[in-house]
Amino acid sequence: MLKAGPSQEEIRQHNLGTLLRHVHLGGPVSRTVLADRMGLNRSTIMALTAELTSAGLVREELPKETGRAGRPSLVVRPESDRVYVLAFDVAVDRLVAARVGLGGKILDRREAVRARAGADLDDVVEVLAGLARPIHREAAPDSVCVGVGAAYCGMIRPGDGMVRFGPNMGWVDQAFGAELGLRLGLGLPVSVGNEAHLGALAEHERGVGIGFANLVYLHGDVGVGGGIIVGGKLLDGDGGYGCELGHMIVNPYNGRPCGCGSRGCLEAEVGEQALFDAAGRASELVGHDGIRAVVDAADRGDLAAQNALDRIGDWLGIGVANLINLFNPGLVIFGGMLRDIYRGSAAQVHRRVAANGLVISREKVQLRTSALGNDVTLIGAAELAFSEILASPLEVLARTTS
Amino acid sequence: MLKAGPSQEEIRQHNLGTLLRHVHLGGPVSRTVLADRMGLNRSTIMALTAELTSAGLVREELPKETGRAGRPSLVVRPESDRVYVLAFDVAVDRLVAARVGLGGKILDRREAVRARAGADLDDVVEVLAGLARPIHREAAPDSVCVGVGAAYCGMIRPGDGMVRFGPNMGWVDQAFGAELGLRLGLGLPVSVGNEAHLGALAEHERGVGIGFANLVYLHGDVGVGGGIIVGGKLLDGDGGYGCELGHMIVNPYNGRPCGCGSRGCLEAEVGEQALFDAAGRASELVGHDGIRAVVDAADRGDLAAQNALDRIGDWLGIGVANLINLFNPGLVIFGGMLRDIYRGSAAQVHRRVAANGLVISREKVQLRTSALGNDVTLIGAAELAFSEILASPLEVLARTTS
């Protein structure tokens, strides 16, 4: 008479997805451990594993060494070479495409460096599709592509992957997801996410953020993006445009102009151009190489470089203090180019956090650099592409192989 | 063999709580509407209502007028006079206690105005217990107190209601919740929340925030607090100390000193003292009356008051723009003293939001004043006190009446 809970079939689908997610994120794992982590008995795990095995999503093997007497528990592995996604990363100065196997293994990765100025939608989609073609062609004949994901350095409308605003590339309302899907011609939709959102998800699932329910990820490309995990979930806001911490005004009255049209945004004060201007290096290396050059010079005792990093670190620290006060996170992560900037300015950032962060808000917070390096956003795009099959493994597999 | 869903008993408890919550928040409602909102059939609703009726939590009545032929659907009403909570509000310049009936009706409310300087824990708890004694004594003999909640103007440790930091009252690590519970002597624990957190919950459940999954509530007491709803839930962060938007640095280099020890916090730039200093009214009315006097003077054409409000509105607008960029909310609410400040500075706030908020982040946001007036935090405290019985109605009732 009362409302029923989920059906047996819904529970089975849910458990299949949960098991697959454990294997995908945690790597090879014994049935015993799976039973423990999922709170299910071993016969249930065996039945679930058998289904995923016959679908070709996982395989079971004897462990190499057990060091214990008795029959060892079989180890469940993801079928990384057989089940994959295509992942794309559109950063300001490079385009990347990759084939990423179930389990998160990058199987093939190709990159195109490009001029920064004004590439239009057609150019970008053409280059990405060109990178993807051999990647897809060289996949094993019995392998299956179960999703496509892309990270983009701008504000993305969820659902259709429309780039609403990409100031660093000059894009407004460009149908990136739809166009890339058409150009790839795989009959699969392309899921697109903001690069910093996806970086945050990647660090949360595979990087230094594992186990943190509340974290703030700051991503430095040319601009500064953010991905904020609140209660285990990405903060998306009403339209999916949340986390724009790079456009928090930190310097309202003497601020540098920002690509968004405002002034004194965190992005304007800690972005690469601010660093180069402060260091007096306007005409040398740009991008990541340029930033590393400044940080390395500071390490060698170059006073101008040290002063520039102190200045940038001061603004960065104000931004981080604000974020700590707002989010009371367990962890703040610096990714992309901010890894190097933080490396060169950590002392100043810490001073600002100590001065401007509330004692109680910051008492347990850790500040760390990204664990996933230059591919953090690419890995996030791959995770976005995997999210559907992890929710409904057999359904999605049936659809993509039909 | 697969993991089971919730038991019949768990489903029943859940449904009882959900029905009670509908009646508590929505007021008298017909069984037909309840069946529709809860997605349950009418016989299930009838059975649930019968249980809650026999427990004395709701009653059923014929509606006054139906205007339709046929047998009318009975209307389910909360037993507001029989089932109540005690709610307390500790603001910087007043202490309030109230008896609030199921359904959110304030049945009895008493207030003590107090000197601002340095009241210690004992004083505050003594005054609150003194206010509560007659309130509790005058409740009907067959009525039952099912919870106690308190709002406090500081950072609160969830669980035990420890005030970790209340700069405006000079409190650090004071066991407020435990002491108030002892002094009341009702054998009930006291749930304590930060006043702005509770204000946000109150506006979300009963005020202008109904139906908004993402909203930012700014609360002006002497300081500025915040409560932020993300995906329908209060942002609490790792320790429960999130949402401290009053301590976002907006004026890092020429900022006014803040009670937290920092400088240039939003609270320091838009708090009442900043307004009085800007308006040149240091020695006149303080608090809410003083703020209203400035806003009224500006309305009458007083240039000094207008300039002061423009200046305060500028800082407030910077803070709001930052929050819109971070949270992409559907709604920003100004509560407490910020209702009046916003009323007097809305044009300037809007100018700043237009200048500093990202177009896409702000395209759908609304800015509104609190609907619940001076009692917004008290109402939030009552909701906190009701939360347990709404989760498990019969269990909590059995415990509090035994």
pLDDT digits (tens, 9 = 90+) for A260-285: 999 999 999 999 899 999 998 765 67
- Report the predicted TM-score, pTM, of the whole model to 2 decimal places: 0.95
Interface test with A, best of B327, B332, B359, B366 (most A CBs within 10 A): B327
Q: How many domains does chain A have?
A: 3
pLDDT digits (tens, 9 = 90+) for A289-311: 899 999 999 999 999 999 999 99
* From A39, A242, A326, residue closest to B244, measured CB to CB: A326
pLDDT digits (tens, 9 = 90+) for A218-261: 999 888 999 999 999 999 999 999 999 999 999 998 899 999 99
A125 min Cα distance to partner chain B (Å) = 24
Q: Is residue A3 part of a domain?
A: no
Q: Is residue B146 part of a domain?
A: yes
**Between chain A and chain B, how many beta carbons pairs sit less than 8 Å apart?**
190
Whether B141 and B272 map to the same domain: the answer is: no
**Domain containing B49 — which CATH number?**
1.10.10.10
Whether A384 and A319 map to the same domain: the answer is: no
Q: Which residues of A touch B12 (CB under 8 A)?
A: 2
Q: What pLDDT was estimated at residue A324?
A: 98
DSSP for B291-355, please give it. HHHHHHHHHTT-HHHHHHHHHHHHHHHHHHHHHHHHH--SEEEEEETHHHHHHHHHHHHHHHHHH
Q: Range with the lowest mean pLDDT among A12-26, A158-172, B107-121, B161-175?
A: B107-121
Q: What pLDDT was estimated at residue B66?
A: 58
Q: What pLDDT was estimated at residue A69?
A: 67
Whether A243 and A357 map to the same domain: the answer is: yes
Whether A225 and A266 map to the same domain: the answer is: yes
ipTM summary value? 0.95
Q: What pLDDT was estimated at residue B2?
A: 39
Domain that holds residue B72: 8-78
* From A164, A243, A361, residue closest to B241, measured CB to CB: A361
DSSP 8-state class, residue B3: P
A253 min Cα distance to partner chain B (Å) = 9
DSSP for A47-98, please give it. HHHHHHHHTTSEEEE--S---SSSPPPPEEEE-TTTEEEEEEEE-SSEEEEE
Interface test with B, best of A45, A332, A361, A365 (most B CBs within 10 A): A361
Whether A293 and A384 map to the same domain: the answer is: no
Contact A325 B359 (CB under 8 A): no
Residue of B nearest to A326 (CA): B243
Helix, strand, coil fractions of chain A, as percent rounded to 5: 45, 20, 30
Whether B226 and B352 map to the same domain: the answer is: yes
Whether A110 and A68 map to the same domain: the answer is: no
* From A165, A214, A363, residue closest to B360, measured CB to CB: A165
Q: What percent of chain A has pLDDT over 70?
A: 95
Q: Is residue A326 part of a domain?
A: yes
Q: Is residue A119 part of a domain?
A: yes
Whether B101 and B59 map to the same domain: the answer is: no
Q: Is residue A1 part of a domain?
A: no
Whether A257 and A327 map to the same domain: the answer is: yes
Q: What pLDDT was estimated at residue B169?
A: 83
Amino acid type, B323? L
A132 min Cα distance to partner chain B (Å) = 31
Whether B105 and B219 map to the same domain: the answer is: no
Domain's final residue, options B39, B56, B78: B78
Domain's final residue, options A78, A111, A134: A78
Contact B325 A247 (CB under 8 A): yes
Q: Is residue A250 part of a domain?
A: yes
B67 min Cα distance to partner chain A (Å) = 32
Whether B287 and B339 map to the same domain: the answer is: yes
Q: What pLDDT was estimated at residue A1?
A: 33
Whether B36 and B131 map to the same domain: the answer is: no
Average pLDDT per consecutive 10 residues, chain B (402 residues; last block may be shorter):
64 94 95 93 94 96 72 88 96 92 97 75 94 94 96 95 90 96 96 98 98 97 94 97 98 93 96 91 76 94 96 97 98 97 97 97 97 97 97 90 73
At A67, the pLDDT band (50, 70, 90 cuts) reads low
For residues B275 and B348, what is the distance between their CA atoms, to the nearest angstrom?
14
Contact B2 A44 (CB under 8 A): yes
Domain's final residue, options B32, B58, B78: B78
Mean pLDDT to the nearest integer, A48-58: 96
